[in-house]
Amino acid sequence: MKAAWLTDIHLDCLGNVGTTPQRRQMLKKMFFESVADDNPDVIFITGDVSTGTEIVNDLTLLESVVRRPIYFVAGNHDFYGSSFDDVTTKLTVASQTSDNIKYLYGCHTPRKLTDTTCVIGADGWYDMLHGDWRTSDYVLNDWFRISEFYMSNVEPGERHLGVDIKHIINVSRKHARECAQHILGNIQKAVAKGYSNVIILTHVPPFASLHLFEGRHATKDALPYYTSKIMGDMLIDVAEKYPNVKLTCLSGHTHGAAREVIRDNLTCIVGGAEYGRPRHQIIELW
């Protein structure tokens, strides 16, 4: 059994400024056909498919081309132009009405792949606990394009680089904790069901060592927004609690390919990506 793994494909970036909607739709279909040509049994997606207004349409098009189970989580860009609540609801409804489109953050039980292997997942979110956000000059589009981050009537003294950083930290950590708890609950269910191999899909890398940019480890200014310590701490805890269960975590977000064996039974892999040039890789399942 094999899976085609897609991450950070950013379908809204296909073509150029003058690309028509019809041309972009054709480019999407051509990419999806290249995925189908490798004849995978299942599709994994670890976020950043497109935007909050397009992701359901894009997943529907993918399903019409590949006609295979699609297990996915959402990335930060997938909420652009909308909100966490609205997009999560839309993706959950799409999963309930489709035989193949399965949003793992909306699934409360592990999804069986083989007798020994299952897949689980949650979107994940950066929690600003690695690196140093206080000295960072990063300002993310997330904070202006996802409605939960908006906050009016903020006094200048409460702002950091023009944004309400305290509010951003609160929203980010809340979302990161909820996603980690979702994955923890599903790992426990997977163990109870007797699975010995658990594949975990999430968007944000769970360890600082996994954030590579142009082949080098990220700076302390970038780390707050590209890693989730909350997720990483949880994964180490469950890996040590269940030493006979193999955990494989797939993520994206940084666009820099990385792989690390964190514990004997916990391996984390980050998929590489490039705007405007979506690609996939094949993973052999056991």
Q: Is the pLDDT of residue 116 over 80?
A: yes
Cβ pair 190, 182 in contact under 8 A:
no
Q: Between β-strands 266-270 and 246-251, what pairing exists: parallel, antiparallel or unpaired? A: parallel
How high is the pLDDT of residue 144?
Answer: 87
Q: Is the pLDDT of residue 159 over 60?
A: no
* Mean pLDDT value across residues 26-48: 97
Give me the CATH code for the 2-284 domain, please: 3.60.21.10
**CB neighbour burial string for 141-180, b if at least 16 within 10 angstroms, e if fewer:** ebbebbebbeeeeeeeeeeeeebbbebbbebbbebbbbbb
Range with lowest mean pLDDT among 134-143, 156-165, 208-217, 232-241: 156-165
pTM of the model: 0.95
Would you list the domain boundaries of the chain? 2-284
How high is the pLDDT of residue 183?
Answer: 98
Rounded (5°) CA angle 117-118-124:
135
List the alpha helices (DSSP H) in 38-99.
55-66, 84-96
Q: Is 110 helix (H, G, I), strand (E, B) or coil?
A: coil
Q: Is the pLDDT of residue 49 over 90?
A: yes
How high is the pLDDT of residue 274?
Answer: 95
pLDDT category of residue 161 using cuts at 50, 70 and 90: low
Block residue for tokens 């599903």: 186
* Mean pLDDT value across residues 212-231: 92
**How much of the chain exceeds pLDDT 90, in percent?**
86
User: E strand or H helix at 259, and its extent?
Assistant: strand 258-263
List the alpha helices (DSSP H) in 160-263.
165-192, 229-241
Q: Which of 119, 57, 65 is nearest to 90 (CA)?
A: 57
The rounded mean pLDDT for the chain is 94
Q: Which of 213, 215, 231 is nearest to 223 (CA)?
A: 213
Q: Which of 86, 203, 59, 93 is nearest to 145 (CA)?
A: 86
How distant, in Å, are the alpha carbons of 59, 110, 182 from that of 56?
A: 5, 22, 22
How high is the pLDDT of residue 150?
Answer: 78
Could you tell me the two tokens for 187? 């790992």
Alpha-carbon distance 254 to 106, whole Å? 24
Range with lowest mean pLDDT among 52-66, 150-164, 238-252: 150-164
How high is the pLDDT of residue 153?
Answer: 46
Q: What sign does the dihedral 159-163-167-169 (CA atoms) show?
A: negative
Backbone angles phi, psi at 7, to 5 degrees: -150, 140
Q: Which of 78, 63, 43, 35 is nearest to 203 (CA)?
A: 78
Q: Is the pLDDT of residue 182 over 90?
A: yes
Q: What is the pLDDT of residues 186-218, one digit of tens each?
A: 999 999 999 999 999 999 999 999 999 878 898
List the alpha helices (DSSP H) in 97-149.
142-145
* Mean pLDDT value across residues 249-273: 97
DSSP assignment, residue 136?
A: -
How high is the pLDDT of residue 89?
Answer: 97
pLDDT category of residue 230 using cuts at 50, 70 and 90: very high
pLDDT category of residue 160 using cuts at 50, 70 and 90: low
Alpha-carbon distance 92 to 203, whole Å? 17
Q: What is the pLDDT of residues 6-29, one digit of tens each?
A: 999 999 999 887 889 999 999 999
Q: Is the pLDDT of residue 81 over 60?
A: yes
